[in-house]
Amino acid sequence: MAQVYLGLGSNLGHRRDKLRRALASLERHGVHLLRASSLYETSPMYYGEQPAFLNAVVYAETELSPEQLLDAAKSVEAELGRQERFRNGPREIDVDILLYANECRASPELTLPHPRMLERPFVQIPLAELRGEPAADTSAEIRRVEGPAWTKPEPSIRAFVAIDVSDELRRQVANVQAALRPVARDVIWVQPELCHLTLQFLGSVPPPALPAIVDACRAAVAGTSPFELRFGGVGTFPQVRRPRVLWIGLTAGLDQLSRLQQHVQRQLANIGFAPEERPFSPHLTLGRFRQPPRRADASALEAALQRYQRTKFATVSVAGVQLMRSVLHPSGPEYSVIESFPLIG
């Protein structure tokens, strides 16, 4: 067995999840984790116009040769959706061989030790941590965000597949909510910045299931071109006299949206996610009633909704689908993007 040090980094999508999935994939390729550094958030070093990176260094052992290990690293990057852009640009995942036992070599394919590791604080600091050495002084913007326990299995993830909406529509949502508050008093209002169109709710998902979900979503959007959705009208479910949900509806783009939702549903059904029993009824949720309003309040609400019956809201350009994580807090849900899937036709 050869002892190796690998550098991991990501600055696109759910970065921490990408690093954990890279470890799991490396294990399948015959690279066995011994220890991991803490996670560090680092400002981009070579090209500044991109998101911050999450970096770590891991110490592992393997029976793979250096060339086989390089092939495994490239396979892991491909499995996690890395796209080739420009040099030192953003990336979904980066797996670098830093050190391989005592190997010293230089070839067009592989140089060991890694030729730029000494100039990179996002390598030197976690590497020093792993080796129990003092970290080099650096003025680089780097901070420790989590200890080595980031590698341990996570609890289930509450996940859903959705389409994002525009800031213009979110502003309009806020305006409608403000106008309806006097006649819809016992409502839990959706924060406008959290508004989205749900294509399928997945419930609690074990982290090992995420790669299959990502593959299913990628297959679902294949061949779908960008399209537009037009929003208009405000209504309630199930009926205005005993409402449970307040919503903004759609007036155009429904056919394309329904076809996309069917593709998503079909691909997820193939990996064990049962389709919704209710028919797909796309809408933008404004709020949910804690309890049905009294008769007088229901009449006032009905009159207020009549004023929005022909209201036209923003047109949203749909350029992609997102796999989302939802974390529930007493103050309300928090959403983050696990993976994005562009519509490229």
Residues identified as active-site: 196, 283
- How far, in Å, CA of 176 to CA of 285, rounded? 12
Token pair of 114 as six digits:
């890694």
End-to-end CA distance of the chain: 46
Q: What is the DSSP letter of 112?
A: E
Q: 329: how many CB neighbours lie within 10 A of its CB?
A: 7
> Is there a contact between 333 and 324 (Cβ–Cβ < 8 Å)?
no
- Residue 322, beta-bridge partner list: 162, 340
Whole-angstrom Cα distance, residue 124 to residue 55? 11
Measuring CA to CA, which residue among 236, 237, 162 is closest to residue 201?
Answer: 162
Phi-psi category of 101—alpha, beta or left, where left has phi over 0 and alpha has psi -120 to 50? left
Instruction: Write out the DSSP string of 24-39.
Output: HHHHHTTEEEEEE--E
Most distant CA pair in the chain, distance: 82
Q: In this structure, are strands 2-10 and 39-42 parallel, antiparallel, or unpaired? A: unpaired
DSSP code per residue over 239-290: -TTS-SEEEEEEEE-HHHHHHHHHHHHHHHHTTT-PPPSSPP---EEEEEES
> Which secondary-structure segment (H or E) carries 229?
strand 227-237
Nearest alpha-carbon partner for 41 in 160, 122, 154: 122
In the numeric block, the tokens 């419930």 are attached to 203
- Which residue in 278, 280, 250, 277 sits closest to 262, CA to CA? 280
Identify the H or E element spanning 232: strand 227-237
